[in-house]
Chains A and B, each alone.
Chain A
Amino acid sequence: MGHHQHIEVTSTKPYEFTRKNRMIAGVMIIIGLIAIIAQFATHHTQTWSNLLMNNFMFMGMALCATFFLAVQYVAEVGWSAVIKRPVEAMGQALPVAGGIMIVIILLGGQSLYHWMAPGITTPGSENYDAIIAGKNGFLNPAFFWIRVVAYFAIWTYFTKLFRKNSLLSDEGDGKGYWQKNRSAAAKFLVLFAATESTMSWDFIMSIDTHWYSTLFAWYTFAGMFVTSIAALVFTITYLKSKGYLQEVTEHHLHDIGKFMFAFSIFWTYLWFCQFMLIWYSNIPEEVTYFMLRQDHYRGWWLGSFFINFIAPFVILMTRDAKRKLYLLMYMSIVIFIGHWIDTFVMVIPGSMLTAGHHAAEAGAHHGHALSLGSVGLMEIGTTLGFIGLFMYLVQHHLSKAPLVAKNHPMLEESLHHAI
């Protein structure tokens, strides 16, 4: 303030999606496909669980990017105007993630979700389960599919709408389109609050069908959001290292760094709240969830807690740390790995238990029933495939529009952002 020198917008051109980067993304997707096919030949449930957890992370990154964008509109945020296009580009991956999710559940649902087993709500059936039958009002296939389709329809509609208005604003009336997006964002946030909650029950919590936790939706959201911010940091770091987005200064990085720091702490808070209450009360129907993780997945379970809490807490605490581009980038990788492990611990123990039920019912070999799932080359390969797909989609959409929305009504404020 005080010195109103004009800052020129240099990012007037779209990102150039080079042949080399297309190749890298393509190779990663092929590695992913090979890993999925190879794993499918050995163990179906493990493959479906693996696909579900990776696609869930992928979907979460895109969904929370749209959520972040909507919050920027509703709160009338000025500083984030220069990073709006990378956030939008991340959100555009949502329809693809939705399509993959529907395919995974259509084909692999019965391997993943205990409540999808045939006859599970029919009294007298050998599969009959009284607890699951009691949840039939919510967890029945027809209602489940209506919800799943509604989620992706709502999310995709708003993601596309924000993007469309944002692109139209480049032609002229920046303020008008911004106002349209702001009212759409308010509606989206209300729908997001509801759909995100039920989505986390449907996709993740219903794997451990007997168990429930009332703050599970919050916990899932915190993990998804911090992963999404980590992906955003990585995208911005990459763009800046290639000479794009020079408008993003250490002041903007400081704000994004605060998000990464704060939501890591928020995630820890929810992780601990969920664990501590269940641990303290020690009710059998609740505590089995943690017993399973403590006994068979102790390293992963506690490891994710330490990676996602101690690392960001200690490393990102100081002001200087949040302003250093490459330190933030390394932290975003650490946080991604930490939340990958967290998602692994959310999905795999439950679905492998479902597989155990099926195997026991089919009278299979006992050793097979106790298969726990592990992290091997197949899991890493699948994750690489999903990262490649995400990278491809984000770069593709970054190359479709100028990297800075030049008619954003608060662009001037964002360019002069100083904290």
Chain B
Amino acid sequence: MSAAEKKFVYGIFNDDEVVVNAIGTLRSQGLKVKDVISPFPIHGLDHELGLARTRISICAFIYGMTGLSLALLMMYYMNIFDWPMDIGGKPSFAFYKNLPAFIPVTFESTVLCAAHGMVITFLLRSKILPGVEPHIIHPRMADDHFVMAIQVKEDTDLAKVESLVKAAGAVEFKS
């Protein structure tokens, strides 16, 4: 680990309530609690950590609008501009008059782009793309243990941090 990178130590907990309570305790003792990794969602954890709200919903909206526009553009080009189609015996050849026939495809395309865009964004952002070496802090972190990441400096007294983290209820400490 290079000096420019942030250095983290980890407290391993085996109870969700203990880990949530430990956040406030350790912060009041001057430790920089940055994140908690949990195998399941814990109510109130985001609030306790003071995490900013996710922006994935904004991404979803943008991806959805992209899908919507692409689908309408495609059908406009194919069925109205390039090769006008008589839809349902109503040969109007106007985009707005044939619009009801285009809605199902537009809807599907919106959902497709929004859903795939969100998943890909999430994978990229969390650096868990297929083929990427996973960063496993503790073998049971996706099973029944909770990992708390604490940011420390190069010269922090790790023995003191360990005693504080263990006093707050951690079953293990990893530096």
Contact = CB atoms under 8 A, between A and B. Distances in A.
B99 to A, nearest CB: 10
Nearest to B58: A318
A136 B137 CA distance: 73
Interface stretch (B42-50, B72-80, B145-153): B42-50
In this complex, which of A1, A281, A418 has the most chain B Cβ atoms within 10 angstroms of its Cβ? Answer: A1
A281 B17 CA distance: 59
Contact of B100 (A280, A318, A319): A280
Q: Tell me the dominant secondary structure on chain B's binding face.
A: helix
Nearest to B48: A2
Contacts of A1: 16-17, 20, 42-44
Given A1-B44, A280-B88, 10 more contacts: A1-B20, A1-B43, A2-B21, A2-B44, A276-B100, A279-B100, A280-B101, A282-B88, A318-B57, A319-B53
Contacts of A418: 43-44, 47
A272 interface: yes
How many of chain B's residues touch chain A, expressed as a range?
10 to 19
A275 interface: yes
Interface in A254-301: 272, 275-276, 279-282
B62 to A, nearest CB: 13
A272 B103 contact: yes
Nearest to B45: A1
B64 to A, nearest CB: 11
Q: Which of B20, B43, B48, B104 neighbours the largest number of chain A CB atoms within 10 Å of its CB?
A: B43
Interface of A is mostly: helix
Contacts of B21: 2
Interface string B91-112: 0000000001101100000000
Interface of B: 16-17, 20-21, 42-44, 47-48, 53, 57, 87-90, 100-101, 103-104
Contacts, number: 34
Contacts of A276: 100-101, 103-104
Chain A: number of interface residues, binned into ranges: 10 to 19
Nearest to A279: B100
A386 B48 CA distance: 48
A276 B87 CA distance: 12
B20 A2 contact: yes
B88 A279 contact: yes
A319 B46 CA distance: 16
A282 B88 CA distance: 7
A275 B48 CA distance: 49
16 contacts: A1-B16, A1-B20, A2-B20, A2-B44, A2-B48, A272-B100, A272-B103, A279-B100, A280-B87, A280-B88, A280-B100, A281-B88, A282-B90, A319-B53, A319-B57, A418-B47
Nearest to A272: B103
